[in-house]
Amino acid sequence: MNQKVLLTKQDIDSILHRLACQLIEKHHNFSESVIIGLQPRGVYLANRIKNILENEYQIKNIDLGFLDITFFRDDFRRNEKSIEASETQIDFLVENKNVIFIDDVIFTGRSVASALNAIQSFGRPKTIELLTLIDRKFCRHLPIQPDYSGKSIDATITDKVKVYWKENADEDQVFLITN
Amino acid sequence: MSQLSVNHLLGIKYLTPDDIDLILETAKHFKEVINRPIKKVPSLRDITIANIFFENSTRTKLSFELAQKRLSADVISFSAAQSSVKKGETLIDTVNNILAMKVDMVVMRHAHAGAAHFLSQNVNATIINAGDGAHEHPTQALLDSFTIKEKLGSVAGKKVVIVGDILHSRVALSNIFALQMQGAEVRVCGPKTLIPKHIDSLNVKVETNLRKALEWCDVANMLRVQNERLDVSYFPSTREYAMQYGLTKELLDSLNKEIVIMHPGPINRGVEITSDIADSKQSVILEQVENGVAVRMAVIYLLASKIK
């Protein structure tokens, strides 16, 4: 097994600032836009992006929610994935809003497809976009692409991408693990 | 990955404390789901469930049906009164005929203790016991625990008294198992004639004085007098029962603390509990009903995940 650093702490820091600026370009003061972190791992990234927007670009009162897709998965009973849910917390209306989904890695696209179904329970958004830190190209099962991506990588289906945040590990880092 | 240790829900006594934790934790998420503008998830869209009720039921049957529909399962329901059971068909034949229509899960209520267990050994489907005689009513106990947890933060360390007809109550037995498994202390209170002989073997103390029981407890679960099961007279009159074991506002106000009042329904207002108590802030009776849907969704979802 081979482990390679894909992104260092400094890389992640500059990528998050770049992603925040790209969001501002499109969503301005976020009055019509909301951020939804996809549980469980998109939550860290969503919180980080929100903090940068608020503290460094003075955009206040951004609506941030967390969406769990466990009950919307298309592989229930079909594999050994966890059936345990995480918390969904969306305390605002998404009806007619521009929703930005945030997740750490996009791989097959199935989680995002489930999220597209799950968010309908909270209303009909005007638009939905996707922001990810890592885009694993050539692994998609569905025609879903991120609108904002920190880094695109070419990885085979058996490779693993591990994202660590200082909130749950020592420091921010992304690794590519190959066999 | 966490999974239930069982393939059927036949009774609380077959569960582990981890199973109960997993069910209550999952139910918390389903409670959030059923408070969304759109209260439905697609998890069970390829599962068919039959609700077979050989005994009357309103809220349990509705609650199960709603839970199944919120999970997108296909649901068929039938009551014994309209079935071939009346024509002499056996339980196994009845259920196997239903299963031949490609049903994956059976929710059954039956007048005989052990009916759900018997079925689980003899038919090829996931079985959920929705009440079997005076034996167990596991989903009621789970929703009661969920409600206590929601109201008081935890079940562990709490003192719960179950008041009324313990002898004929499947709710009492399931609650005793569930509460003790989670670290609560349980007592029962009622006329001696309605307390089972071997209650001591369950490590449950008996209190025949309602006031003393209430002074001791954090939660009082008031059971209905099951007139339909009383084959002989267990107390002189309903009026006398109400005077001895009925919960009134005066009695509750005279305690120097606030306790949580539960009731599995249906209520005999003015017998085990007065109307002003049933509708008071201390009563969590309607929360129990709401939580019943979330808890049943959790049970069905977790058991369905094991169907291959």
Model ipTM value: 0.86
Mean residue pLDDT across chain B:
93
> When comparing pLDDT for B178 and A169, which is higher?
B178
The alpha carbon of A74 is separated from its chain's Cα centroid by a whole number of angstroms, namely: 19
Domain B12-137+289-304 is classified in which CATH homologous superfamily? Aspartate/ornithine carbamoyltransferase (3.40.50.1370)
Percent of chain A, pLDDT > 70? 100
Mean pLDDT of A34-52: 97
**What integer pLDDT is reported at residue B114 of this predicted model?**
95
Q: Quick one: closest CA in B to A74, which residue?
A: B43
Could you read off the pLDDT of B204-213 as tens digits, one per residue? 999 999 999 9
What was the pLDDT predicted at B308? 82
Q: Are strands A173-178 and A2-7 parallel, antiparallel or unpaired?
A: antiparallel
Q: Which helix (H) or strand (E) holds A161?
A: strand A160-164
Give residue A1's pLDDT band: very low, low, confident or very high (50, 70, 90). Answer: confident
Whole-number pLDDT of residue B230? 65
Provide mean pLDDT across the span A140-166: 94
pLDDT at B1: 55
Residue A34 DSSP symbol: E
Nearest-CA distance B45 → chain A (Å): 10
Q: Which runs of consecutive H residues, i.e. helices, occur in A28-97? A: 42-55
Query: In chain A, what percentage of residues exceed pLDDT 90?
Result: 85
- Nearest neighbour of A72 by CB, restricted to B39, B41, B307: B41
Closest CA to B57 of B110, B128, B136: B110
Say if CB A20 and CB A151 are below 8 A apart. Answer: no
Q: Above 60 in pLDDT, residue B11?
A: yes
Count CB-CB contacts under 10 A for residue B77.
15
CATH number of B138-284: 3.40.50.1370
Helix axes B59-70 and B138-152, enclosed angle (nearest 10) = 80
Answer whether the bond into residue A40 is a cis peptide, omega within 30°.
Answer: yes
Find the helix packing angle between B115-122 and B91-99, rounded to 10°: 50
Percent of chain B with pLDDT over 70: 96
Distance between CA B14 and CA A60 in Å, rounded?
52
A66 touches chain B (CB under 8 A): no
Put simply, whether A84 touches B (Cβ < 8 Å) is yes
Q: Which residues does B contribute to its contact with A (CB < 8 Å)?
A: 1-3, 22, 25-26, 29-30, 32-33, 36-44, 46, 71, 301-302, 304-305, 307-308
Structural domains of chain A in order of their starting residue, each with its CATH number: 2-72+87-178 (3.40.50.2020)
> Each residue of B265-287: pLDDT tens digit?
889 899 999 999 999 999 999 99
Interface probe with B: pick from A83, A93, A119, most Cβ of B within 10 Å? A83
Look up residue B208 and give its DSSP letter.
-
Q: Do domains B12-137+289-304 and B138-284 have the same CATH topology?
A: yes
**pLDDT(A73) > 60:** yes
Rounded to whole angstroms, the Cα distance separating B78 from B73 reads 16
C-beta of residue A72 within 8 angstroms of C-beta of residue B41: yes
For the cut 60, the answer to whether the pLDDT of residue B195 exceeds it is yes
What is the CB neighbour count within 10 angstroms for residue B93? Answer: 12
Contact A77 B25 (CB under 8 A): no
In this predicted structure, what is the pLDDT of residue B79? 82
Shortest alpha-carbon distance between residue B29 and chain A (Å): 7
Q: Given CB atoms, is A29 within the 8 Å cutoff of chain B?
A: no
For residue A63, the cross-strand partners are A34
The span from the CA of B64 to the CA of B78, in Å, is 13
Q: What is the pLDDT of residues B174-183, one digit of tens each?
A: 999 999 999 9
Q: What is the dihedral of CA B241, B247, B249, B254, to 10 degrees?
A: 100
Residue with tokens 């490590």: B203
Q: Please give the sequence-ordered ranges of beta strands (E in DSSP) within chain B, or none if there are none.
A: 48-53, 74-79, 105-110, 126-132, 159-163, 185-189, 205-207, 219-222, 260-262
pLDDT tens-digit series, residues A104-150:
999 999 999 999 999 999 999 999 999 999 999 888 999 999 999 99
Per-residue pLDDT, averaged over B51-77, amounts to 94
Give strand ranges (E) for B74-204: 74-79, 105-110, 126-132, 159-163, 185-189
Mean pLDDT over A150-179 rounds to 92
Q: Say which amino acid occupies A150.
A: G
- Mapped onto helix, strand or coil, the DSSP state of residue A160 is strand
Contact A71 B33 (CB under 8 A): yes
Asked if A88 and B32 come within 8 Å (Cβ–Cβ), the reply is: yes
Q: Which of A5-14, A97-106, A155-164 has the lowest mean pLDDT?
A: A155-164
- Chain A residues in contact with B33 by the CB 8 A cut-off are 71, 88, 121
- Chain A hits for B3, CB-CB cut-off 8 Å, are 83
B-facing residues of A in 118-177 (CB < 8 A) are: 118, 120-123
- How far apart are alpha carbons B4 and A83 in whole angstroms? 11
Distance from B308 to chain A by nearest Cα, in Å?
A: 7
Please check the confidence at residue B231 and state whether its pLDDT lies above 70: no
Task: Check if A83 contacts B (Cβ < 8 Å).
Answer: yes
Nearest residue to B37 via CA among A65, A124, A122: A122
| Domain extent listing, chain B | 12-137+289-304, 138-284
Sorted by sequence, the CB contacts under 8 Å of residue B6 that are 6+ apart come out as: B14, B15, B19
| B contacts of A125 (beta carbons < 8 Å) | none
On whether the CB atoms of residues B65 and B77 are closer than 8 A, the answer is yes
CB contact under 8 A, A120 and B305: no
**B170 within 8 A of B136, measured Cβ to Cβ:** yes
How many beta-carbon pairs below 8 A join chains A and B?
60
Non-local (6+) Cβ contacts of B154 within 8 A are none
Active site residues of B: 59-60, 87, 109, 137
**Separation in Å, CA of A111 to nearest CA in chain B:** 14
Instruction: Report the alpha-carbon distance of residue A64 to residue A135 in Å, rounded.
Output: 22
Q: For A14, how many CA atoms within 13 A lie in the half-sphere containing its CB?
A: 5
By the 8 A CB rule, do B143 and B295 touch?
Answer: yes
Which is nearest to B297 in space by CA: B16, B107, B102? B107
Angle at which helices B17-33 and B170-181 cross, to 10°: 100
- Sheet containing strand A148-154, strands side by side: A63-67, A33-38, A98-106, A127-137, A148-154
Question: Does the beta-carbon distance from A84 to B41 stay under 8 Å?
Answer: no
Contact B7, B126 (CB under 8 A): yes
What's residue B82's pLDDT? 61
Alpha helices (runs of H) in B195-284, residue ranges in sequence order:
210-216, 238-245, 249-253, 275-278
Residue B115 to residue A98: CA distance in whole angstroms: 54
If you average pLDDT over residues B13-18, what whole number do you get? Answer: 97
Q: What is the pLDDT of residue B229?
A: 66
Enumerate the residues of chain A whose CB falls inside 8 A of the CB of residue B37. 121-123
- The secondary element (H helix, E strand) that includes residue B18 is helix B17-33
Query: What is the average pLDDT value for chain A, to the nearest integer?
Result: 94
CB B287 within 8 A of CB B15: no
pLDDT digits 0-9 by tens, B69-118: 999 999 999 887 666 666 778 888 888 888 888 999 999 999 999 999 99
Instruction: Please report the pLDDT score of residue B64 as a whole number.
Output: 98
Query: Chain B: residue nearest A71 by CA?
Result: B43
Please judge whether B40 and A121 are an interchain contact, meaning their C-beta atoms are less than 8 angstroms apart.
yes
